[in-house]
Amino acid sequence: MPKVTFIEHNGTAHTVEAANGESLMRAAVDNNVPGIDGDCGGECACATCHVYVEADWWEKVGGRTETEETMLSFAAATKDNSRLCCQIMMSDALDGIVVHTPDGQH
């Protein structure tokens, strides 16, 4: 299965597997990755799955949805490379993707 690495604000890395078609949020929650709560269950309605996508992967993950843009406008500490990872679906093309969790998410 493809892998995704989540790096916490303190530098701790967690590499987990995610099935094709599964969201990065689901993979994080199922593997108890700190800082990704996924409170809304992936409905793009909570922003507790906020991550920063590393530059090498930004183009590959595709663009934000309109709903995601709206949710991110309410989220703390957003950056140009912010995404809600419940909206990023794993695929073989994303094998090895690296994302970072914001400082405020533990």
Note whether 90 binds ligand FES by CB under 6 A: no
Task: For residue 7, give the 3-state DSSP assignment.
Answer: strand
- Per CB under 6 A, the list member of 18, 33, 84, 88 interacting with ligand FES is 84
Note whether 86 binds ligand FES by CB under 6 A: yes
Tell me the closest approach of the beta carbon of residue 62 to ligand FES, in angstroms: 15
Note whether 48 binds ligand FES by CB under 6 A: yes
- Give the whole-angstrom CA distance, residue 105 versus residue 8: 9
For ligand FES, the closer CB: 27 or 44 = 44
Tell me the closest approach of the beta carbon of residue 74 to ligand FES, in angstroms: 10
Interface stretch with ligand FES, choices 8-16, 36-44, 88-96, 98-106 (CB under 6 A)? 36-44
Cross-strand partners of 15? 5
